[in-house]
Chains A and B, each alone.
Chain A
Amino acid sequence: MSGELFVRFWGVRGSIPTPGPRTRRYGGNTSCVEVRAGKTLLVFDAGTGLRELGVHLGRRNEAPLTVHLFLSHPHWDHIQGFPFFGPAYDSSTTIYVYGPKGDDKHYQLLSGQMSNAYFPVRFSDLGAKIVPRSFKGHAVEAGDAQVHLFSQKHPGGSLGFRVEYAKKSVVFSTDNELDQLLKDKKAAAARPDELRAFPSELLEPIRDADLLIADAQYTDEEYDAKVGWGHPRSNTVVDFAGQAGVKRLALTHHDPMHSDREIDVLVSEGELRARRLGYEELEVFGAREGVTLKI
């Protein structure tokens, strides 16, 4: 619908799919988010949640289909669903795979995972028209939406994306080790209850966003053993969102070891922290498969 912006979570798990009763409520599929900006379909990450999105699109029978696909980076949990994405086999589908200017690495690695050592169907045998597209500088027009990209802290690098449409904004920011970007890492370690401050230039890409979907994989306690793995403490993400004036924060990239109950606790701690630090307007919640938000 024109002028309306919707977000649906298809995969919210980090690292590896985790099906089973412990993860049933939040879900076990890896990273994939659908954004509908009017009639434009944008997809962020191609983790295993993408397969379910493909089934859903098949049921809706939207043909011809145009998909604007943005990959944060090509680690397994962000590309693994692509060979199982039904619309990629349909000749009426067009898929634009976006990458930084002058760099089609994402497109190449997406297709590389379908070499016949890994998968029986070749990338070149897919029916859809699959086209690499580059950002022009830091922004690109994708259908009716404008998408900005920004660099993140992750081994091998990762990209965050900000979608602007009809004066609304959604930021997709996963695999970003924010704790390595703090103004004072030692202070955050010594006094974890205090606000963890960020340089103002890091806040700009998420400034005043209506929704921030952010990697929040670890608790404070877990992080000490995972420094340099590319993921932040969830409490740090709350501080990040609060300082930037974000309205709603969806914690995602849930750790594969975290059960539904443990994610509930992590979210609850984030809510309390936001209140305690004075970010009364910031809404904190856990991203959950099958949930659609209207922005």
Chain B
Amino acid sequence: MRRMDPRHSTVDLEELHTRVAQRVKGLRPRTERPHLLEIIEGPGKGTRFRLEQPSYDLGRGSQASLVLDSDEVSRLHAKLTRIDGEYTMEDAGSRNGILLNGIRVHAAVLRDGDELQLGDVLLRYSEGV
């Protein structure tokens, strides 16, 4: 029997439980609920981004998967990554940084109602829309 690496035990067990649930109970892994980022102030006000992918790049450049059309936003400003159904926003080396509810942060696991300022673009995050 394969010896489980203890550092991965929690993750491995969760995956094992999912597999057991599929096989025994006929259950499927629960559907990931989409979350939402909405521009509430600044350029693009009213734009809504429905979040369903495991990761996104935010920036003003055309390479960004979520484009924020402002000179105060860096070409690649921040990354959004989904882990266990929760999105984390992380500064990608931007010029103006990220403010989470007015506090400068490097990264944060987002919570319902959080306001994020990237340059002059203010976004609101909503969970499970």
A-B contacts, CB under 8 A, total: 53
Question: Is A166 on the interface with B (CB-CB < 8 A)?
Answer: no
Q: Shortest distance in angstroms between B102's beta carbon and chain A's nearest beta carbon?
A: 8
Evaluate whether A24 and B111 lie within 8 angstroms (CB atoms) in the complex, with A6-B106, A293-B105 already known: yes
A57 cross-chain contacts in B, Cβ below 8 A: 7
CA distance A256 to B108 in the complex (A): 22
**Other-chain contact of A59, B9, B11, B106, B108 (Cβ < 8 Å):** B11
Question: Is A109 on the interface with B (CB-CB < 8 A)?
Answer: no
Number of residues of chain B lying within 8 A (CB) of chain A:
21
CA distance A24 to B7 in the complex (A): 26
A291 cross-chain contacts in B, Cβ below 8 A: 100, 105, 107-109
CA distance A161 to B106 in the complex (A): 23
Chain B 71-109: CB-based contact to A (< 8 A → 1; otherwise 0) = 000000000000100001011000000001001111111
Question: Is A228 on the interface with B (CB-CB < 8 A)?
Answer: no
Question: Is B8 on the interface with A (CB-CB < 8 A)?
Answer: yes
Within 8 A of A (CB), among B1-39: 5-11
CA distance A57 to B107 in the complex (A): 16
B83 cross-chain contacts in A, Cβ below 8 A: 59
- Name the CB-closest residue of A to B111: A25
CA distance A293 to B104 in the complex (A): 7
Within 8 A of B (CB), among A14-47: 24-25
Q: Shortest distance in angstroms between B47's beta carbon and chain A's nearest beta carbon?
A: 25
Question: Is A150 on the interface with B (CB-CB < 8 A)?
Answer: no
A175 cross-chain contacts in B, Cβ below 8 A: none
**Other-chain contact of B103, A25, A127, A283 (Cβ < 8 Å):** A283
Q: Shortest distance in angstroms between B34's beta carbon and chain A's nearest beta carbon?
A: 19
**Other-chain contact of B10, A8, A55, A63 (Cβ < 8 Å):** A55
Question: Is A87 on the interface with B (CB-CB < 8 A)?
Answer: yes
B104 cross-chain contacts in A, Cβ below 8 A: 293
Interface residue SS majority, chain A: mixed
- Name the CB-closest residue of A to B109: A290
CA distance A61 to B49 in the complex (A): 32
Q: Is the CB of A89 within 8 A of B106?
A: no
Question: Is A292 on the interface with B (CB-CB < 8 A)?
Answer: yes
Within 8 A of B (CB), among A270-295: 283, 285, 288-294
Evaluate whether A58 and B108 lie within 8 angstroms (CB atoms) in the complex, with A283-B103, A291-B100 already known: no
CA distance A24 to B112 in the complex (A): 10
**Other-chain contact of A58, B11, B103, B106 (Cβ < 8 Å):** B11
CA distance A86 to B5 in the complex (A): 9
Q: Shortest distance in angstroms between A24's beta carbon and chain B's nearest beta carbon?
A: 7
A294 cross-chain contacts in B, Cβ below 8 A: 91, 106
B106 cross-chain contacts in A, Cβ below 8 A: 6, 292-294
Q: Is the CB of B7 within 8 A of A58?
A: yes
- Name the CB-closest residue of B to A26: B111
B109 cross-chain contacts in A, Cβ below 8 A: 289-291
B6 cross-chain contacts in A, Cβ below 8 A: 86, 89-90, 127
CA distance A285 to B105 in the complex (A): 11
CA distance A61 to B88 in the complex (A): 19
- Name the CB-closest residue of B to A89: B6
B9 cross-chain contacts in A, Cβ below 8 A: 86, 89
CA distance A24 to B9 in the complex (A): 25
B11 cross-chain contacts in A, Cβ below 8 A: 55, 58-59
Q: Shortest distance in angstroms between B120's beta carbon and chain A's nearest beta carbon?
A: 21
Jot down 13 A-B pairs with beta carbons below 8 A, ordered by A.
A6-B106, A58-B10, A61-B7, A63-B7, A86-B7, A90-B6, A90-B7, A127-B6, A285-B103, A288-B108, A290-B88, A290-B109, A292-B107
List 12 additional A-B contacts (Cβ < 8 Å) besides A55-B10, A291-B107.
A25-B113, A54-B7, A58-B10, A59-B11, A61-B7, A86-B8, A89-B7, A283-B103, A288-B108, A292-B90, A292-B108, A293-B106
